[in-house]
Chain A
Amino acid sequence: MAKRTLGLGKAAKQKKQKISSETPEKSASPDIQSKGNEIHVELDEEVDPDDELNQLKGLWLTYVKGDRDNEMVLNGIIHECDRLLRNQSEEAKLPAEFHSTYALALSDLANFHTEDSADSNIKQYFDAALERISLGQDVYPDSIELGFALANVIFARIPMEFISKWNVDSKKSSDSVDLKALITEALESYEKSEESVKLLKNYSLLDNNVFETLKAFDDLLEIVNNFGQEDSLAEGLDSDDEEEQEVKEIKLSKKHPLYEVYHRSSDKYFQWLVKHGSEFGTLVNDDLKHLLKKTDELSTKETRQLEFLKQVSAWCGQLLLQAAEKPSQIFTAITYDDGEPEIEGYTAAKAQEEAQSYIKQAVKFFENAEEEEDPKTWVDVAEALIDLGNVYDYESKDQIATYALAEKRLRRANNATNGKYQEILDNLLSNDD
């Protein structure tokens, strides 16, 4: 038996010498190289791993879980879709879900080609995605998945294919796209699918793809709101800069292709988002509650689902807080500043009631998203509670109790994070004085 080499460093050196004397030329074997490109595809425990559609689903999930930044996986999905399509037989038609996945993948492909010289490239991906949906709908006219997917593709294409090419001085031309009509088409398609989900009471259809559709619309509205001021937001945003970096509304000409959406419809769209976004959160809430209550250890699929539902909940919370901003500001302005008794049709009481209603819902959503491991989620609840406290009557029992609840959470989060929330906490405590 060879003498034992004692020591990690010495052994490594010996090994190195040995390797370099054995293989003087070869630096890396092809085995190792190909290993780096291997993709681990996760399938749910209960599905048949040999089923090609399950494999496609697994691939799509892998792509989504990888922050949607792996073009190789996406290309793989598209190749696989092409192959399945070619092998499709009359007797065994591909399901609607296949068409929606294919369409979403095509639409996402545009993200990887924004730098391409030919503008038509992006358009080509979105056109192909829409064509796929339309072909799918020929076979499955009432498909819920395809309805949601249509909305998703439209929301994704508007900023990339159109808005990104405009500046504040752009002018409409005869062949300019009718954004309003496009958005309406997407919203109607979403609503129709949502209605079907409710009729079927099959809320498991409200999956990540649907959530992504809502988020895409949310992003679209943000892009519209920030139109013309991208530069001022170039540096990283931090909470303390909110005041400094408040977005100022610009004035667009009536001839601007974004005029209608920017000046006339954005409030209406935001209301739509609040309604349907919170509806989504409410519809999946039972599932969330069920998982939260479960005492046995969760399966991989359940853990993933819980994580997803908490994300949905936190997003809904944010959305409702945003919705509460306007009535809250009006309530505060009428109550604490010397001013009008009524602003934009709101009395103080009406504004207060509306703000409270939104924020109470937001608090519930944030509570559902709370994670013992993540102090940021406690702070989300605390901040919503502070907002709620702010729209209760000054020094009322409700206000004092709500602030106290917020303080408790903030103190704990502050301990847990090395004092990261000291400023919010100090602010709250100085409010109390």
Chain B
Amino acid sequence: MAPVAKKQNTKFNKEDTRQCFGAQIFDEEHVKSLRKSIKESQPYRWGHFHHLFDDTLLRNVRKEVEKEIHFTLKETDIYKVFQSGDLANLSGLDWDDLSRLPSVFKLREALYSQEFRDLVSEVTQCGKLSGVKTDMSINTYTKGCHLLTHDDVIGSRRVSFILYLPDPDKHWKEHYGGALRLFPALVPNVPECDYSHKFIPQFNEMAFFKVQPGLSFHDVEEVRVDKQRLSIQGWYHIPQRGEDGFIEGEQEETEAKSTLQQLESKELQEYDFPKEVRLPFSSYEIKSYTDGNPLDAFDLEFLSKYMNPELLTSDKLVSLQKKFVEENLLQIDDLLNHDYAKHLHKLIRSHELDSVMPKRREEVSFPWKMAVPPHKWRFMYMDGKQPEEWTVEGVKLANNGVQESPNFQLTNQMAKDETTRELTQLSSFMKSKSFKKWLRIITDLIPISDQIIVRRFRPGHDFILATSVDTSDSKQDALLEGTLNLTPSKHWESGEFGGYELCMATNDDDEEGDDPAIYKSSADGDDSVLVNTQACWNKFTLMVRDPSVLKFVKYVSYNAPGSRWDISAQWDIDMNE
């Protein structure tokens, strides 16, 4: 948590404070109309100040920041942003910094002054705000930087604000990206897939909103061009003990509602789509490959239709098994045979080049569906099951009504284009007994249930935040997991465009005491990274995954050469007797 600021001796009086601000800010009419517009705002209570600060002061702030502050790139599953290293939190500013950053210091005093706090409190009607607990940092978003959907609810935060400082002499255009986007919630704690409102940043404008548990979902749209979107971002907190407006127990109550805890809550998983449901195989089927039968003539012919024949020879099967048993991991290049891969490559690539990519949930048509909610993931997928309606009633029905098993062969009949048809065929193939038999041989494990999902991660939209697997209903405390990478476009190797699937080990030893704001471990330069697979063509990654492994798919950049496509599979497993 941010440290409480040192008590400053420099006191600004009311007049000094007001001089820091733009001329109209404290005008009664302005306050009135702002309060009204916030009251009527959608999707939740938010507003913005235009020309908030005195222009010269803010230009000086920008100059000081440019000159004095060093930024480092931080990237995790949820963001990519340049953070100020030495001044990660401006509440830590002390006398040494005062000489280097006089305008920044003045700005902080003004932002947390009684006058301005009262103003924010008045227009948002959110109650009193703390003047001792200051909490702000400087970030810069350059091309490719983003921050995915979250609700900001941590600890005692009451109001979030972002003060924008892009180039003061240029207009920030919408297509540069970097907007603050607000998401309505279907029900509390479940944001809609797509944003409903957005605020395009301009110099000396401040966007702010009341932090509302389960409601105030927002993101920072990726910056798409080579520009700097500099901002000072922070929070007003609930009054602390001894301050005007302090209420015993209020902070604890707010903390209890924290997003992190709610992510864990069982109830809300009703709204997660696709669900992690693995369908058990019949005992007859399992028995047929438990006996250790080798691949027979039928299997070989069947598998060769899709698979690279080199992966079916006895020698190769032995070496694959040996490696997998040792390492719990296999990365198989060219799983699909040359001719089939060429055919599929052409289909997928021309599909993404020649048909319009669905951008919002309602544009996605069955058998494709949209993974929701976006504070966990967003991507297009096919699971071979019936469509679900994204309404409160629809979700209830999906959870409690008819529970049919997936059937890619049927889905195939509904597909409107050849690419979708071929992908459902391939998914069917992965559900074949011959394929399971091959899996059984190379893993020396017995697959007993499965879930197969075709996924498309669209540039500028999609990702999966880090999650672990649920093995509570499994025989073993681990799952077999495979991803067949089917991304047909090139130039993903550097990871610059995201789209990589990364697994890392959780460190259970030092979980206590971490800043809850950084609840996702850092991905860069971390020795906890177990495997990182860039989006690529025709590569099959197979692993045994236990609950200590976190996995995520990094947000795919707007500037990526195409979508990341893959087929993701999970199997419950049994050990050989």
Verify A13–B505 contact, CB threshold 8 A: yes
Please give the distance in Å from B326's CB to the nearest CB on chain A. 9
Is there a chain A Cβ closer than 8 Å to B426's Cβ?
no
Please give the distance in Å from B338's CB to the nearest CB on chain A. 11
Interface residues of A in 1-32 (CB under 8 A from B): 4-13
Contact pick for B353, options A4, A13, A416, CB 8 Å: A416
- Partner-binding segment picked from B14-22, B114-122, B225-233: B225-233
Interface residues of B in 534-566 (CB under 8 A from A): 543-549, 558, 561-562
Is there a chain B Cβ closer than 8 Å to A373's Cβ?
yes
Verify A6–B544 contact, CB threshold 8 A: yes
Is there a chain A Cβ closer than 8 Å to B364's Cβ?
no
Chain A residue contacts of B531, Cβ below 8 A:
8
Contact pick for B226, options A6, A237, A416, CB 8 Å: A237
Chain A residue contacts of B505, Cβ below 8 A:
9, 12-13
Verify A412–B328 contact, CB threshold 8 A: no
Verify B545–A8 contact, CB threshold 8 A: yes
- Partner-binding segment picked from B167-175, B253-261, B382-390: B167-175
Contact pick for B328, options A11, A240, A373, A375, CB 8 Å: A11
Is there a chain B Cβ closer than 8 Å to A52's Cβ?
no
Verify B506–A244 contact, CB threshold 8 A: no
Verify B548–A7 contact, CB threshold 8 A: yes
- Partner-binding segment picked from B39-47, B71-79, B239-247, B354-362: B354-362
Cα A418 to Cα B505 in complex, Å, equals 34
Verify B329–A8 contact, CB threshold 8 A: yes
Is there a chain B Cβ closer than 8 Å to A238's Cβ?
yes
Cα A417 to Cα B224 in complex, Å, equals 12
- A423 to chain B: closest residue by CB: B175
Interface size grouping (class) on chain A = 20 to 34
Verify B226–A236 contact, CB threshold 8 A: yes
Chain B residue contacts of A5, Cβ below 8 A:
328
Verify A415–B355 contact, CB threshold 8 A: yes
Of A9, A412, A418, A420, the most chain B CB neighbours within 10 A belong to A9
Chain B residue contacts of A374, Cβ below 8 A:
561
Verify A236–B227 contact, CB threshold 8 A: yes
Is there a chain B Cβ closer than 8 Å to A235's Cβ?
yes
- A245 to chain B: closest residue by CB: B170
Chain B residue contacts of A375, Cβ below 8 A:
353
Verify A7–B549 contact, CB threshold 8 A: yes
Contact pick for B545, options A9, A244, A420, CB 8 Å: A9
Proximity bits, B317-356, A CB within 8 Å = 1, else 0: 0000000010111000000000000000000010011111
- State how many residues of chain B have any CB contact under 8 Å with chain A: 47
Contact pick for A415, options B167, B329, B356, CB 8 Å: B356
- A238 to chain B: closest residue by CB: B225
Cα A12 to Cα B544 in complex, Å, equals 12
Chain B residue contacts of A423, Cβ below 8 A:
175
Chain B residue contacts of A416, Cβ below 8 A:
352-354, 562
- A7 to chain B: closest residue by CB: B546
Cα A238 to Cα B167 in complex, Å, equals 14
Is there a chain A Cβ closer than 8 Å to B277's Cβ?
no
Is there a chain A Cβ closer than 8 Å to B6's Cβ?
no
Chain B residue contacts of A8, Cβ below 8 A:
328-329, 503, 530-531, 543-546, 549
Chain A residue contacts of B329, Cβ below 8 A:
8
Contact pick for A412, options B170, B353, B459, B543, CB 8 Å: B353
Is there a chain A Cβ closer than 8 Å to B143's Cβ?
yes
Verify A13–B548 contact, CB threshold 8 A: yes
Interface residues of A in 112-136 (CB under 8 A from B): none
Cα A374 to Cα B349 in complex, Å, equals 11
Verify A418–B546 contact, CB threshold 8 A: no
Cα A15 to Cα B483 in complex, Å, equals 24
Chain B residue contacts of A418, Cβ below 8 A:
357, 359, 458-460, 558
Chain A residue contacts of B353, Cβ below 8 A:
375, 412, 415-416
Please give the distance in Å from B417's CB to the nearest CB on chain A. 14
Interface residues of B in 484-522 (CB under 8 A from A): 489-490, 503, 505-506
Proximity bits, B372-394, A CB within 8 Å = 1, else 0: 00000000000000000000000
Please give the distance in Å from B228's CB to the nearest CB on chain A. 7
Please give the distance in Å from A298's CB to the nearest CB on chain B. 15
A10-B226 in contact given A373-B489, A423-B175 (Cβ < 8 Å): no
Contact pick for A235, options B167, B359, B506, CB 8 Å: B167
Please give the distance in Å from B13's CB to the nearest CB on chain A. 39
Chain A residue contacts of B489, Cβ below 8 A:
373
Is there a chain A Cβ closer than 8 Å to B205's Cβ?
no
Verify B478–A412 contact, CB threshold 8 A: no
A238-B328 in contact given A6-B544, A8-B530, A412-B353 (Cβ < 8 Å): no
Chain B residue contacts of A240, Cβ below 8 A:
173, 175
Proximity bits, A365-395, B CB within 8 Å = 1, else 0: 0000000011100000000000000000000
Interface residues of B in 408-459 (CB under 8 A from A): 458-459
Cα A417 to Cα B575 in complex, Å, equals 46
Chain A residue contacts of B575, Cβ below 8 A:
4, 6
Please give the distance in Å from B283's CB to the nearest CB on chain A. 22
Chain A residue contacts of B170, Cβ below 8 A:
235, 244
Is there a chain A Cβ closer than 8 Å to B476's Cβ?
yes
Cα A7 to Cα B503 in complex, Å, equals 12
Cα A237 to Cα B355 in complex, Å, equals 30
Chain B residue contacts of A412, Cβ below 8 A:
353-354
Chain A residue contacts of B356, Cβ below 8 A:
415
Is there a chain A Cβ closer than 8 Å to B272's Cβ?
no
Please give the distance in Å from A244's CB to the nearest CB on chain B. 7
Chain B residue contacts of A13, Cβ below 8 A:
505, 548
Cα A9 to Cα B551 in complex, Å, equals 11
Chain B residue contacts of A238, Cβ below 8 A:
176, 225-227
Cα A155 to Cα B173 in complex, Å, equals 38
Cα A26 to Cα B238 in complex, Å, equals 50
Cα A237 to Cα B170 in complex, Å, equals 13
Chain A residue contacts of B359, Cβ below 8 A:
418
Is there a chain A Cβ closer than 8 Å to B55's Cβ?
no
Chain A residue contacts of B327, Cβ below 8 A:
11
Cα A8 to Cα B547 in complex, Å, equals 10
Chain A residue contacts of B503, Cβ below 8 A:
8
- A371 to chain B: closest residue by CB: B490
Cα A237 to Cα B543 in complex, Å, equals 44
Chain B residue contacts of A10, Cβ below 8 A:
478, 546, 548
Contact pick for B544, options A7, A237, A417, CB 8 Å: A7
Verify A6–B328 contact, CB threshold 8 A: yes
Of A4, A7, A415, the most chain B CB neighbours within 10 A belong to A7
Cα A373 to Cα B547 in complex, Å, equals 39
Verify A236–B478 contact, CB threshold 8 A: no
Chain A residue contacts of B561, Cβ below 8 A:
373-374
Cα A418 to Cα B349 in complex, Å, equals 14
Chain B residue contacts of A236, Cβ below 8 A:
143, 225-227
Verify A6–B478 contact, CB threshold 8 A: yes
Please give the distance in Å from B560's CB to the nearest CB on chain A. 9
Cα A11 to Cα B329 in complex, Å, equals 10
Chain A residue contacts of B357, Cβ below 8 A:
415, 418
Cα A13 to Cα B546 in complex, Å, equals 12
Chain A residue contacts of B299, Cβ below 8 A:
none
Is there a chain A Cβ closer than 8 Å to B477's Cβ?
yes
Verify B530–A9 contact, CB threshold 8 A: yes
Cα A418 to Cα B489 in complex, Å, equals 14
Cα A110 to Cα B408 in complex, Å, equals 62
Interface of B toward A, CB cutoff 8 Å: 143, 167, 170, 173, 175-176, 225-228, 325, 327-329, 349, 352-357, 359, 458-460, 476-478, 489-490, 503, 505-506, 530-531, 543-549, 558, 561-562, 573, 575
Known interface pairs A8-B503, A8-B545, A373-B561; 12 further A-B residue pairs with C-beta atoms within 8 A, sorted by A's residue number: A5-B328, A6-B478, A9-B505, A9-B545, A9-B548, A12-B505, A13-B505, A238-B226, A373-B349, A412-B353, A418-B460, A418-B558
Q: List 7 A-B contacts (CB under 8 A).
A: A6-B573, A7-B546, A8-B328, A8-B549, A9-B530, A244-B170, A423-B175
The 9 closest A-B pairs by CB, nearest first: A236-B226, A7-B546, A9-B548, A9-B549, A7-B478, A416-B353, A6-B478, A8-B328, A238-B225
